[in-house]
């Protein structure tokens, strides 16, 4: 399985559009409403994505700098390796519990800043994709901020997984929105 900056950029642009449509016209109460006491609401889905991004983006930036320093240059498309497709499949098909650090309950904070915070995260994803240009993203490794840092993946797999992760939770939030009654 291969992936690259073009697919990631498309994923980011799709996430921006979907998030805007998702929160459009919703009240703070609707954003924070949980369809079930043990399930996330729309705001929690988006905040979870922001928290996950915050945990990964600094590690990715550091790994890209190390790759640049080590002169690990290359061009895509990139092979996601063994773990990449497994992470992608788990994200799409299997309900895997979120790591405790970014799991239920997620503190939603101020619902009015939800979209702008998410857009800043997308801006950073775009910046990191641009910073990765020309680097060998198969040889560049990212250590997970979860699971005691035991999981190490190729940078290309990390980008691909995080874009798929966004898609999954935005779909989850869109499903919640469909269940809401008009304000």
pLDDT digits (tens, 9 = 90+) for 162-174: 999 999 999 999 9
pLDDT of 132 reads 96
Reported as a pLDDT band with limits 50, 70 and 90, residue 150 is confident
Q: How many angstroms separate the CA atoms of 90 and 161, rounded?
A: 10
Give me the residue spans of the domains in the chain: 2-179
2-179 CATH choice from 1.20.120.450, 3.40.50.300, 3.30.70.141, 3.60.21.10: 1.20.120.450
pLDDT at 22 over 80: yes
Measured CA distances, 22 to 8, 15, 47, 69, 130 (Å): 20, 10, 14, 41, 27
Half-sphere exposure of 51 (CA within 13 A, CB side): 20
Mean pLDDT score, 11-16: 97
> How does DSSP assign 125-149, residue by residue?
HHHHHHHTTTB-TTT-EEE-SSGGG
Q: How many angstroms separate the CA atoms of 92 and 56, rounded?
A: 19
User: pLDDT for 31-81, tens place per residue?
Assistant: 988 888 888 899 999 999 999 999 999 999 999 999 999 999 998 788 888
Beta-carbon neighbour count of residue 179 at 10 Å? 8
pTM for the whole structure? 0.86
């Amino acid at each position: 399985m291969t992936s690259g900056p073009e697919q990631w950029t498309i994923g980011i642009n799709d996430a921006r559009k979907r998030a805007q449509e998702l929160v459009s016209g919703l009240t703070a109460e609707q954003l924070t409403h949980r369809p079930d006491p043990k399930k996330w609401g729309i705001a929690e889905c988006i905040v979870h994505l922001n928290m996950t991004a915050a945990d990964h983006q600094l590690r990715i930036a550091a790994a890209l700098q190390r790759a640049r320093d080590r002169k690990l240059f290359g061009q895509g498309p990139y092979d996601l390796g063994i773990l990449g497709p497994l992470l992608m499949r788990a994200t799409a098909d299997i309900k895997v519990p979120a790591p405790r650090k970014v799991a239920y309950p997620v503190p939603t904070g101020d619902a009015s800043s939800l979209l702008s915070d998410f857009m800043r995260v997308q801006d950073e994803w775009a910046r990191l994709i641009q910073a990765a240009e020309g680097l060998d993203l198969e040889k560049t490794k990212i250590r997970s901020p979860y699971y005691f840092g035991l999981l190490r993946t190729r940078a290309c797999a990390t980008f691909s997984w995080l874009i798929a992760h966004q898609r999954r939770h935005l779909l989850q939030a869109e499903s919640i929105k469909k269940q809401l009654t008009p304000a």
